[in-house]
Each structure stands twice: as C-alpha cells, then as structure tokens.
Amino acid sequence: MRKVFDWAHRWFGLIAGFYFVLLGLTGSYLVYDDAIDRFFKPELHHVTPSANSVSLADLVRVAQTQLQTDKPPFMIRVSGERDQTARVVIDAAKPGEERRMTATFIDPGSLQIRGTEVSSQTFTGFMFAFHHDLFWGGTGRTIMGAAGILMCLILVTGLLLWWPRNRSIFSALKTRKWRNALQMNLELHKVTGIWTLILMIVVTATGTYISKPNWFTPQPSQTEQPKEGEPRSGSNQKPTEFNWAAIQSSMEVDYGKDLRPLFVRVRGPNAMVMAWPGGKEIRRMYAADGTLKPEEKRDSFAGDVRAVNHDLHVGHFWGWFGEFLIFISGLLPLFFYVTGVIVWWKKSQLKKSSSTVPRPQGALS
C-alpha cells in the first residue's frame, strides 16, 4: 500500500500540481482584491466622508440611470468605511447579448458617480473568473469539484507517506539535518506539509463545496431561478421592480439606521440582505414588494452551511488573521510543487546514474 500511496502522491502531484499552483495564487490575490483595487484605482473607491445615511433606492436609481437600464441590480455593496464608495452591479447587456456585469461606483453621501467598469474586463474579474469556474461556467465548476477531491487525496497520501514508522511522531515533526539538495527539499516538503495539513484540507474542502454544493448537501429550492443554460439577459419578460425603500425601512426598524457594512444579492424575484450593525451579522430574505420572506427549514439549513463554508474559505472566521492564513494557503501549492518537482527530478537522476554505472569485472550476475 505504501508503494501505491507513493505513486499516487507523486504522479497526481506532478500532473495536477501546476493547476493547483494557479488556483492557489489566484485565491491569494482575491483575499486582498478590494484593497489592491482601492490602491490602484483611488478615483473609483475613495470619497469625502459623509454623515448622510445610505439609501438603497437612490443608489439603484442612479446606477440604472447611468447604465440606461431598468434591470434590478445583481449586487449592492456598501462599505463600513464612510470614505469608500458604494458599488451597484447590474447586468447591462442588451437583449440577445451575453451577461455584462457592470459595476457603478457611487458616492453614498452625494450620490455622485465616480465611474463604472465591466467586471470581466478588469484584472480582478479575470482572476475571479479563473478561480471560480475556469472561464467555463458549470462545466468548469464540475472540473474544480473533482480537482478538489483529487487535491484532498494528494494531501491524505502525503500524510500516510510521512507517518513515522521507526521514530516518534514528535521527532517526525522536526526537520532532520540534510547533506544535499535532495534531502533539503524532501525534509522541507514533508515537514511544511504536515504542519499546514489542516489548513490546506480546510481550504480545499470548502472550495470543493463552493464549486459543487449539490454534491454534499440539499440546496435551497430554485423554482424561481433561471435553470442552468438558460439565458439570464435579453429576455422579453419585464424586469422585476423592487421596492428598495420598503426593504430598507424594514431592516432599519429592526436594526437601526446605520446598517453599514451592507451587502445585497438579488436572486430572481427575491433580495437577500446582509448587514453587520454593531459587528453582528444579520441575514434577511425579502420579496420584491419589500415583505419579509420566512425561509423554509431546508433552505435555511443549506444557507447556513453555505455561509459558514464561505467564511472558512475566504478567511472571515478570524478577521484579518484568518484572511492572512488563507493568503498563505494560496502560496503553499507553489512551494510544494517546486520542492516536490526537485525531489522527483533528483531521485530520477540518481536512479539513472546508478543504472549506468558499470559493474566490476567478476561480479556475480
């Protein structure tokens, strides 16, 4: 069995390892994508702080006017920092065109537009599209789900190969002295792998769940959502009109007027609103007319699982330290791939040189 584990760990790692390197690097970038965008595009993100309250209805109206559309937003995001713009994302595609998610950056105090950008045409959008579905929609997510299971297999076989046979577990957690490059890379590969194993399994398993949640848990009912493969834009149906004032009023009655930070995601005829007043997360689902929708038990359970899974995957579970851990986890596949390739190459060279060494005369055959 050890030979089987060794074969699986080596060849799965060599063949699929480069894909995991790219996935890890894009994931590390996405941990801090907002901070990176704010640094390189201050004209879109920074505004003069204002004490004015945020109006969802006004933000949507300004964005729709700018993009000349009456479609409801796909997403609304209001930062917890008062010197940051609000972002309204709308599918600005014309009838018959593919989706064209366009973000409008608005000063929430003055309602002045700071600029717009098409998500797919930005570097961050490129990184997200690769990390999310390999630019391939549902097929890409299926590939990523299968690759996540393969990555878990690589991690488990690495654990089984590391498991000490003739020494204690505690001594195996330390690097031994090395005499050459082969031993150095082998020790670093093994010890770093075992110390970061839990982190890597958590990131891989949660990413696999995000790619294909229906493989693991029952999903919320999708009777009102477009089916996979159906057009999401260019439909002849009239866009749903949301009563954003009623939705916001309902939230403010229960949780106060300062709902920053605020995140809204439109799902068909419903709007999921998330806010963090006082640091506590509030999650509500509203119908288009502003009435609160009670979640079914099945839908509520699946939604809670997805929320916890998402927080683990992006590092929100421990604030800035959790995000830093996820950032580091995205760099680890590159480290493991480089050290693993060096070990494989050095061993191959040693085997090749030993097979070509001439035998001394008179040696037994």
Q: Examine the pLDDT at 147 and tell me if it is beyond 90.
A: yes
Please indicate, yes or no, if residue 232 is contained in any of the structural domains: no
28 with 168, same domain: the answer is yes
Which range marks the domain in which residue 71 is found? 48-109+239-295
**Looking at residue 277, what is its pLDDT?**
77
Q: Residue 201 CB: number of other CB atoms within 10 A? A: 15
Q: pLDDT category, 225, cuts 50, 70, 90?
A: very low
Give CA–CA dist 351/182, Å, rounded: 13
Please indicate, yes or no, if residue 312 is contained in any of the structural domains: no
Record the pTM. Answer: 0.87
Q: pLDDT category, 359, cuts 50, 70, 90?
A: low
Give CA–CA dist 341/187, Å, rounded: 13
**Looking at residue 221, what is its pLDDT?**
57
- Kindly state the DSSP code that residue 106 receives in the 8-state scheme: E
64 with 144, same domain: the answer is no
Q: How many domains does the chain have?
A: 2
170 with 26, same domain: the answer is yes
**Looking at residue 69, what is its pLDDT?**
95
Please indicate, yes or no, if residue 302 is contained in any of the structural domains: no
246 with 101, same domain: the answer is yes
131 with 268, same domain: the answer is no
Q: Examine the pLDDT at 43 and tell me if it is beyond 90.
A: yes
Six-digit token string for 19: 């894909």
Encode pLDDT of 261-298 as tens digits. 999 999 889 999 988 877 777 888 999 999 998 866 55
Q: What is the mean pLDDT of residues 139-150?
A: 96
287 with 325, same domain: the answer is no
CA–CA distances in Å: residue 238 to residues 70, 98, 243, 291, 350: 9, 18, 15, 20, 70
**Looking at residue 226, what is its pLDDT?**
45
Q: What is the mean pLDDT of residues 328-357?
A: 91
Encode pLDDT of 319-340 as tens digits. 899 999 999 999 999 999 999 9
13 with 91, same domain: the answer is no
40 with 125, same domain: the answer is yes
Cis peptide before 261 (omega within 30 of 0): yes
| Contact indicator for 283, 274 with CB cutoff of 8 Å | yes
276 with 289, same domain: the answer is yes
In the predicted model, what is the mean pLDDT of the chain? 89
CA–CA distances in Å: residue 256 to residues 54, 262, 278, 282: 12, 13, 10, 12
175 with 96, same domain: the answer is no
Six-digit token string for 221: 């009912």
